Structure 1
């Protein structure tokens, strides 16, 4: 496995390949990331993972400066997962000057849910992902389903920009108790880690209500919010949405198998966790 830090060296290395498969990450890798690399490996003729903590997608009060940078440990995990190339640029390499050109996703998709509580987040995501796509020129790119809205935003960007890339979604990897794997789980204290599974359990309760035929989504959402709040969480949202566009269901035709997703984001202590379940 090669570790490359510059755009010019990466492009030179990739000239001999026609179908790169790409997994962009911010590092601090867990088994969920490695599963995406393993999923990418048979798709292309070379497997590339990037490690870059992207300043553009962090709000001023968020954890950009303290986000763990663990390149050596990440590379030790990526090699046995089948990664061929790690692209690990520093900030000056990827942003040699202030990034004045940005990719602005449509507000109907990007300013709801995560975008409502993290303004500008998806502009930062789209800008860095588009830039990485331009550098790597992948034929396939694999993203995790835990970031449900993010992979939808990226999929739409690729379609509207006519990029010759197939977006693959990898399933959410979970711990034995059901907690979705996340780099930010490392921020949790032991007591918080034991409590953290309640987010996925609350979403499971919402999904079960829908599967029983309940259509009063406002009541389902309120019960979920009260449940987590009563346990000391600070929810941003716990909501029922249509899979097709992440808008609230409007009528009976929106309820049924494979039409809905429940999504949640909530803070436990100082750690913000997200999760989702398709219904």
Structure 2
């Protein structure tokens, strides 16, 4: 496995690659959720590239950039263990050089709701860094997780609206045995908070069971989410949503399918999760 630090070298190496190129983009803090991406994508491409970049532009002023649990040596070892050929691991100055005008990318209409409201500027940073990675690495395929469903939709919009032609491959949410979605931020949880965090999946499961039993009222399904979450004193709910699967607008009535989405703070961890209702 080769580690590449500069955009110029990455572009040069990319020109010499043959066959299909796949990308797994990460902030670091590699866990089994990330390695699931590698395991899916490795057989689908001739060359597997990982990226390792803790992007400051997608973190707000009071968010956890300085505490984010990334360890480069451990992260690189995981990439190598899972068959990655190259890892692009640039500095902030390399990704946002003073002598280059890195275009700020509009994340589109899907960024104006839910996390777009709760984390102003977050999706602008996501769209800009992903576009930058795409322009440097030029992948044929790239994976993004369904746990970050709104982010996934924004990246699909970016790909389509800019005519990039990349095959964006959604990866199903990876969960612990008790249902908690795997996340780097789970490391912030104390044992008591870790137990409390299972309330997110419990709430989503109740909404899913109700939907499967015929409930179609968005208001009722949202009430079910909120009612379950209210039973956990450590849970500080930011939103409990029943939204359109494409637009992320709240639904009064679910015709065919919807996505139940949650953002909940437990201790110092802001956790998000979702479940498709279909």
- Taking structure 2 as the reference length, the TM-score comes to 0.94
Superposed, which structure 2 residues align to 1:114-193 within 5 Å?
114-193=115-194
Gaps of 5+ in 2: none
Q: Does the 8 Å contact 1:111/1:119 carry over to 2?
A: no
**Alpha-carbon shift at residue 226 of structure 1 (Å):** 3.5
Task: Decide whether aligned partners of structure 1 residues 35 and 44 sit closer, same or farther in structure 2, where only a CA change above 3 A counts.
Answer: same
Q: Helix, strand or coil: the match of 2:222?
A: helix
Given candidates 248, 251, 257, the residue that maps to 1:249 is 251
Cα offset, 1:245, TM superposition? 1.8
* Other-structure match for 2:105: 103
Tell whether 2:238 aligns with 1:240.
no
Cα deviation per residue 1:174-222 (whole Å; 9 max; x = unaligned)? Answer: 1111110000001111111112111011111111111111122223213
- 1:57 and 1:123 in contact (8 A); partners too: yes
Per mean C-alpha deviation after superposition, the further-off stretch among 15-24 and 163-172 is 15-24
Matches within 5 A, 1:45-84: 45-84=46-85
Count of matched residue positions in the alignment of Structure 1 and Structure 2: 274
Whether contact under 8 Å (2:4, 2:86) holds in the other structure is yes
User: CA-atom RMSD, angstroms?
Assistant: 1.5
Q: Which runs of 5+ in 1 are unaligned?
A: none
Contact 1:24 / 1:51 at 8 angstroms: preserved in 2? yes
SS of residue in 2 equivalent to 1:235: strand
Give the 3-state SS of the residue equivalent to 2:160 in structure 1.
Answer: helix
Name which of structure 1's ranges 218-227 and 12-21 shifts more when overlaid on structure 2: 218-227
Distance of 1:100 and 1:4 partners within structure 2: 20
In the alignment, the residues of structure 2 paired with residue 50 and residue 217 of structure 1 have an alpha-carbon distance, to the nearest angstrom, of 39
The reply on whether 1:16 has 2:48 as its aligned counterpart is no
Deviation at 1:169, TM superposition (A): 0.4
Per the alignment, residue 203 of structure 1 pairs with: 204
Shift of the alpha carbon at 1:157? 0.9
Deviation for aligned residue 1:99:
6.5
Preserved contact between residue 218 and residue 252 of structure 2 (Cα < 8 Å): no
Q: Deviations over 1:242-266 (max 9, x none)?
A: 2122222354xx433xx21111110
What SS does structure 2 have at the residue aligned with 1:65? Answer: helix
Cα distance in 1 for residues equivalent to 2:101 and 2:127: 13
Question: Are the counterparts in 1 of residues 96 and 102 from structure 2 also a CA contact under 8 Å?
Answer: no
1:271 deviates by: 0.6
